[in-house]
Amino acid sequence: MLGRINHIAIAVSDLEPAVKTYRDVLGAEVSVPLQLPDHGVTVVFVELANTKVELLEPLGEASPIRAFLEKTPAGGMHHICYEVDDILAVRDRLRATGARVLGDGEPKIGAHGKPVLFLHPKDFCGTLIELEQV
């Protein structure tokens, strides 16, 4: 059901110093910022040989990242994203097991222009899971 890890997301209160750390200190290639109003975040991707790291900054007062950063002001790992072939079939299979899909359960378009869903962390070892259709 699960494919490879697409990215690991880290919530930050300010993208600029986070980008400088990854780009200037760690020597990584970092994308330009992309605002995702439907998700309440601005993101950049740190490109690695085997995956990506997504840095998330809150966008707007209703951003779900704000609540995370209130609990964890220094920032930290927010979610892990796995690739799936058929997001609707996976969603239906997970729901049948009792797993909770966040929001209205319908995929939204994510930062890569592909359908994504989020799964409740209480159902997955305390970790927010993002599924992205490839």
Which tens digits make up the pLDDT trace of 64-120?
999 999 999 999 999 999 999 999 999 999 999 999 999 999 999 999 999 999 999
| Domain at 5-133: CATH code | 3.10.180.10
Residue 33: burial class (beta carbons within 10 Å; 0-12, 13-18, 19+): middle
Which tens digits make up the pLDDT trace of 106-117?
999 999 999 999
Bridge partners, residue 53, by sequence: 8, 46
Its pTM stands at 0.94
Say if strands 128-133 and 115-119 run parallel, antiparallel, or are unpaired: antiparallel
Q: How many Å is the Cα radius of gyration of the chain?
A: 15
Query: Is 132 in the active site?
Result: no
| Domain range summary for the chain, segments of one domain joined by + | 5-133
- Provide DSSP, 11-75: E-S-HHHHHHIIIIIS--EEPPPEEETTTTEEEEEEE-SS-EEEEEEE-STT-HHHHHHHH-TT-
- Active-site annotation holder among 16, 54, 70, 130: 130
